[in-house]
Amino acid sequence: MTCTTQSDPGLPDEPVGATEAPGFATRAVRAGQRRTEEGEHAEPIFTTSSFVFSSAAEAAARFAGEVEGNIYSRFTNPTVRTFEERLAALEGGECCVAAASGMAAILALCLGTLEAGDHVVVSRSVFGSTSSLFSKYLARFGVATTFVPLTDPAAWEAAIGTRTRMLFCETPSNPLTEMADLRELAEIAHRGGCRLVVDNCFCTPALQRPLELGADVVVHSATKYLDGQGRCVGGAVVGDRKLVGEAVFGVLRTAGPTMSPFNAWVFLKGLETLELRMQAHARAAEQLAHWLDAHPAVARVHYPGLPQHPQHHLIGAQQRSGGGIVSFAVRGARAEAWRVIDSTRMISITANLGDAKTTITHPATTTHGRLSDAERADAGITESLLRVAVGLESVADIQADLARGLAVS
Ligand SMILES: *Cc1c(COP(=O)(O)O)cnc(C)c1O
């Protein structure tokens, strides 16, 4: 667990020197690194389970918490700490703790901050496992959940009761890219005496920083854009010292779903190119969205960067650009949607996202396949819908690959 003292993160496109704090790109490359006496340039991977002490007295002092230092890698590890400090610096948070996966991060946050009898309000449009974690598992331990539509502030407000501790959302949502107004949600949360938690997986701090907009906690699946090349599973929680540095860290070090030093190192390297990659993903996604929008075989395109998107006004004010995810409905139903997928030769058929390689999925039969027909209809996930996580290949090649299956019959 790592707590930084960096409080003014500045805007990513601000020139270095405009504020006291280094610019976003500089923090992405350099924050958190402590060089050892070997003088290494790149961050080392500390693959060690435990750490040695110079004496019995030093061991006793570290175990007693009187002296700071590493004891065991389930508690702290220098490579993991560097990743935590870097991500905290990018999100503008006081403290970050890394976890073995995005889901482990969310679980640790819940175990560290909720108790039996508490209530949480969760967006209906959250990642499938997040939804099950609340409705199926936390429910067994006495934590009740109310699911509300992401973009309906009145529903969030109305769902808050006396035992409500947390509002939890993802914005933009998967796969329809609906956006919540985070400033407004933060006000609603604080008026109701609860915390706003934002899963910032789709935007990353390169495009959106929820803590600056009033959110209290950010969670990440580092598996996606923070890695950026589809190699490792990991997660993180960012927030203040007391909540994250004590409550969440306490759960992680005790229960044990911690991040491995190797994975932390891969994510560190990912963070160094995060801003460049996110800009490139978003540029390509925007181009693709406009192309799809003009295609006669496409019925509807969901992308925050398109002027007809219902929350397009939040671009710039909340989110720096539309991001890398584009969803669209083909004219027709399942057969027409599947034909687009099965006609691809380059795009990877996988439900993962945030990779240099473009991926395509049919949400109704994969990521949202376990919902009932009524729930799917309610969520707007039709049989004709496809989701593309736009990668870093040439946009012309992505278009050509989709065009084959989109041929008008
Ligand atoms: C993938 C994902 C998660 C879960 O992360 P894992 O690393 O797979 O555990 C949580 N939230 C969102 C938005 C995701 O896309």
- Residues in contact with ligand 1 (CB, 6 Å cut-off): 101-103, 127, 129-130, 170, 174, 199, 201, 221, 223-224, 233, 235
Identity of the amino acid at 21: A
- Which stretch of DSSP H or E encloses residue 238? strand 235-239
Q: Which atom of ligand 1 is nearest to the CA of 129?
A: 4
Average pLDDT along the chain? 93
Residue nearest to atom 7 of ligand 1 (CA): 102
Question: What integer is the mean pLDDT of 8-28?
Answer: 61
Alpha-carbon span 340 to 97, nearest angstrom: 41
Strand partners, 99: 235
Alpha-carbon span 343 to 403, nearest angstrom: 9
Instruction: Please check the confidence at residue 117 and state whether its pLDDT lies above 90.
Output: yes
| Cα dist from 71 to 2, 36, 68, whole Å | 15, 18, 9
Q: What is the pLDDT of residue 7?
A: 37
Instruction: Please check the confidence at residue 116 and state whether its pLDDT lies above 50.
Output: yes
- Asked if domains 9-272 and 275-406 share a fold, the reply is no
Question: What integer is the mean pLDDT of 230-259?
Answer: 97
Between 139 and 7, residue with greater pLDDT: 139
* Residues in CB range of 336: below 8 A, 6 or more apart: 297, 330, 384
Using a pLDDT cut of 70, give the percent of the chain over it: 95
Task: Please state the domain extents for the chain.
Answer: 9-272, 275-406
| 223, 232, 327, best to mutate for ligand 1 pocket (most atoms within 8 Å of CB) | 223
Residue 183 CA to ligand 1 center (angstroms) comes to 23
Fold of 9-272: Aspartate Aminotransferase; domain 2 (3.40.640)
Residue 312 CA to ligand 1 center (angstroms) comes to 25
pLDDT tens for 149-170 read: 999 999 999 999 999 999 999 9
Q: What is the pLDDT of residue 261?
A: 98
| 122, 207, 221, best to mutate for ligand 1 pocket (most atoms within 8 Å of CB) | 221
The three-state secondary structure class of 152 is coil
Residue nearest to atom 4 of ligand 1 (CA): 102
Alpha-carbon span 65 to 61, nearest angstrom: 6
Kindly write down the DSSP assignment for every residue of 324-377, as one continuous string.
SEEEEEESSSHHHHHHHHHT-SSSEE-S--SSSS-EEE-GGGTTTTTS-HHHHH
pLDDT tens for 166-186 read: 999 999 999 999 999 999 999
Residue nearest to atom 12 of ligand 1 (CA): 127
State yes or no: cis peptide before 175, omega within 30 of 0: yes
pTM of the model: 0.94
| 124, 168, 201, 217, best to mutate for ligand 1 pocket (most atoms within 8 Å of CB) | 201
Query: Do residues 80 and 221 touch, judged by C-beta distance below 8 A?
Result: no
| Cα dist from 94 to 91, 108, 220, 259, 275, whole Å | 9, 18, 16, 19, 21
Alpha-carbon span 342 to 165, nearest angstrom: 45
Strand partners, 389: 325, 359
Using a pLDDT cut of 90, give the percent of the chain over it: 90
User: Of 358, 377, 381, which Cα lies nearest the Cα of 368?
Assistant: 381
β-pair type (164-170, 195-199): parallel
Angle of CA points 19, 22, 23, to nearest 5°: 90
pLDDT band at 1 (very low <50, low <70, confident <90, very high): low
Instruction: Please check the confidence at residue 12 and state whether its pLDDT lies above 70.
Output: no
Residue 382 CA to ligand 1 center (angstroms) comes to 22
Residue 16 CA to ligand 1 center (angstroms) comes to 32
pLDDT tens for 333-364 read: 999 999 999 999 999 999 999 999 999 999 99
pLDDT band at 373 (very low <50, low <70, confident <90, very high): confident
Residue nearest to atom 1 of ligand 1 (CA): 221
For residue 174, give the DSSP letter. Answer: T
- Which stretch of DSSP H or E encloses residue 182? helix 182-191
Identity of the amino acid at 390: V
| 224, 227, 237, 350, best to mutate for ligand 1 pocket (most atoms within 8 Å of CB) | 224
Question: What integer is the mean pLDDT of 55-67?
Answer: 94
Q: Which atom of ligand 1 is nearest to the CA of 174?
A: 13
Residue 103 CA to ligand 1 center (angstroms) comes to 6
pLDDT tens for 329-339 read: 999 999 999 99
Say yes or no: domain 275-406 is CATH 3.40.50.720.
Answer: no
